[in-house]
Amino acid sequence: MLLTTWVLAGARASLLAAVLLTTLHAAAEPMRFDGMQVAGHDAVDPAVRRFTAKVTRVGQAGKAGRISTLRFEPIGPGMVAPKRNEMRGWRLTFIRGKMFGRTLWLKSNTPDELTVRSTDPSMEGVAEGDIVVIELIDPKLVDANA
Amino acid sequence: MCHGAWVKRAHALLAAASLALAGAAGAQTVKLPADAVDGFHAALKRKDTGGALSYLDRSLVVFEFGVTDPTVEAYALSHLPGDIDMAAVSDWTLQARRVGGSGNERWVLSTYHVTGKLPDGKPIDQVMQETAIVRRAGDSFRIVHFHWSSDKAWAQPPRAAAP
């Protein structure tokens, strides 16, 4: 009986630990991973201008059912909210979420909202908490009329 | 137009369409394990974030100089930008490569001679060792693990002191 109680207590503790770990992992910010030091190497000058952001809200779908706007907030060291249309023509790549790896291009932005080009695919499936990196690939390639 | 000429033109159109489709598919499909590694490095050099990510499996784990990127998202946010920046100022020349494994799990071992110049003018001249494990998903190989190390101690980041 004592042994059974002890085994059951152990099993309950293991289950609780597993649930806690799963919850922590799901809620963890990308930069914090169980105390592990994040890999990297020598700092060199940025090859492109970059802005990283976390999606805070997904815009409403248009009449055609297309979602082209996102609300965001800066994420990462040194990131500050961009000026209006500072990132017009910049390339946006999703690095977290359902659209992971997909690339779109900015038509316009405010300090906390961005709109992608009308020729880009809908951002349906994007969710709060997804992360994007927005880069100025080549200033000469930026379409001022985008 | 006679029937023969019409058929000839249709064949030409079909061939052109096939080539175009093959080109589009080539960007998404990696038939050989080493092509995933080479495609990834080429994307870094092009500063193509999305392209680089397309070669990575969602279960990617990166080890570099004793530290870890435990998820592909962590790598994409904190490490990939640095790799793109480094690729922009350096040239990676493949020195040696071995490929092995079987079935859907393969490994690609490479050494590169990396040259270039750091912002402070210091020349980059090092040998970089790379272990890549790739996994076939569908008809394409994706990278599930990278491990990089270098023969130059100064190229490695300072490690946090042990508590």
Backbone angles phi, psi at B135, to 5 degrees: -130, 135
State chain A's mean pLDDT as an integer. Answer: 77
Residue B106 binned pLDDT confidence (cut-offs 50, 70, 90): very high
Confidence check: pLDDT of A4 > 70: no
pLDDT band with cut points at 50, 70 and 90 for residue B156: low
* More confidently predicted of A7 and A123: A123
Instruction: Answer whether residue B92 is part of any domain.
Output: yes
Spatial separation of the C-alpha atoms in residues A95 and A76, rounded to whole Å? 13
Note the pLDDT tens digit of each residue in A50-106. Answer: 999 999 999 999 999 999 999 999 998 889 999 999 999 999 999 999 999 999 999
B-facing residues of A in 95-134 (CB < 8 A) are: 95-96, 100-103, 131, 133
In this structure, what token pair is assigned to residue B14?
A: 């079909």
Domain residues for B49?
32-155
Whether residue A133 contacts residue A46, with contact meaning beta carbons closer than 8 Å, is answered with: no
- CB-CB under 8 Å, B85 with A44: yes
Long-range CB contacts (within 8 A, 24+) of A119-123: A120/A68, A122/A61, A122/A65, A122/A66, A122/A67, A122/A68, A123/A58, A123/A59, A123/A67, A123/A68, A123/A70, A123/A99
- To the nearest whole percent, how much of chain A has pLDDT over 70? 65
**Exposed e or buried b for every residue in B7-26, given b needs 16+ CB within 10 A?**
eeeeeeeeeeeeeeeeeeee
CATH number of the domain enclosing B61: 3.10.450.50
Binned at pLDDT 50, 70 and 90, residue A142 comes out as: low
Residue B6 confidence (pLDDT)? 52
Residue in B53, B69, B155 nearest the CB of A38: B69
Is pLDDT at A28 greater than 60 in this prediction? Answer: no
pLDDT at residue B44, rounded to an integer: 95
Residue A58's nearest CA partner among A45, A74, A72, A43 is A72
Q: What is the distance between the alpha carbons of residues A50 and A132, in angstroms, rounded to a whole number? A: 10
Q: Looking at the DSSP assignment, which residues form a beta bridge with residue B141?
A: B136
Q: Cα–Cα distance between A29 and A21 in angstroms, integer?
A: 14
Asked if the model's pLDDT at residue A21 lies above 90, the reply is no
pLDDT band for position B118 (cuts 50, 70, 90): confident
Q: Cβ separation of A96 and B76 shorter than 8 Å? A: yes
Could you tell me which CATH class the domain A49-141 is placed in?
A: mainly beta
User: Per-residue pLDDT averaged across A26-30, rounded?
Assistant: 38
Q: How far apart are CA B61 and CA B44, in angstroms?
A: 18
How far is residue A90's CA from residue A143's CA, in Å, rounded to a whole number? Answer: 9
pLDDT at B65: 84
Q: How far is CA A5 from CA A2, A9, A10, A61, in A?
A: 5, 6, 9, 56
Nearest residue to A104 via CA among A122, A87, A95, A91: A91
Helix (H, G, I), strand (E, B) or coil at A8: helix
Summary mean pLDDT of chain B: 83
Q: Does B54 contact A91 at a Cβ distance shorter than 8 Å?
A: no
Cross-chain Cβ contact A34/B70 below 8 Å: yes
- pLDDT for residue B67: 87
For residue A37, give the nearest of B82, B85, B160 by CB distance. Answer: B160
Contact predicate A43/B154, CB 8 Å: no
Cβ proximity of A134 and A96 under 8 Å? no
Question: Looking at the partner chain, which of A40, A95, A103 has a beta carbon nearest the beta carbon of B73?
Answer: A95
Q: What pLDDT sits at residue B119?
A: 81
Q: CB of B67 within 8 Å of any CB in chain A?
A: yes
pLDDT at site B19? 34
Collapsed DSSP state (helix, strand, coil) of residue A23: helix
What confidence score (pLDDT) does residue B153 get? 63
pTM of the model: 0.74
Q: Answer whether residue B127 shows pLDDT above 70.
A: yes
For residue A82, give the DSSP letter.
Answer: P
| Longest CA pairwise span in chain A (Å) | 78
pLDDT digits (tens, 9 = 90+) for B14-50: 444 433 333 333 346 899 999 999 999 999 999 999 9
Could you give the count of Cα atoms lying within 13 Å of B24 in the half-sphere of its Cβ?
A: 6
Q: Where are the domains of chain A?
A: 1-34, 49-141
In a domain, B79, yes or no: yes
The structural domain count of chain B equals: 1
